[in-house]
Amino acid sequence: MTPMSTPATNSAIPAAQPVIVSPLVLADRLLGLAQDADQAGLRRPAADLVRLAFAMYDEVPQQRCFTCAWDAYPSA
């Protein structure tokens, strides 16, 4: 009889490294989500996502309507 083999333990799995994402990539993803939200008729969440993308660069539009900031971006 041979001894039973033991399954690999968690110590054999390398620890996950944190993923560093460029602020430009993050802003692009936020704007893509905003576009999807706008197309789904969710104007307020779309505007919030656009504001969040602007806030990453401290360029939040001042005293503008919800769709004004969104209208600055052409649709695909």
pLDDT tens profile 33-70: 999 999 999 999 999 999 998 888 775 555 555 555 55
Q: How far apart are CA 31 and CA 9, in angstroms?
A: 42
- pLDDT score recorded for residue 58: 72
Q: Is the pTM of this model over 0.85?
A: no
Task: Check: CB of residue 51 under 8 Å from CB of residue 64.
Answer: no
16 or 60, higher pLDDT? 16
Residue 22, exposed/middle/buried by CB under 10 A (0-12, 13-18, 19+)?
Answer: exposed
| AA identity, residue 55 | A
Distance of CA 29 to the CA centre of its chain: 5
Percent of the chain as helix, strand, coil, to the nearest 5:
50, 0, 50
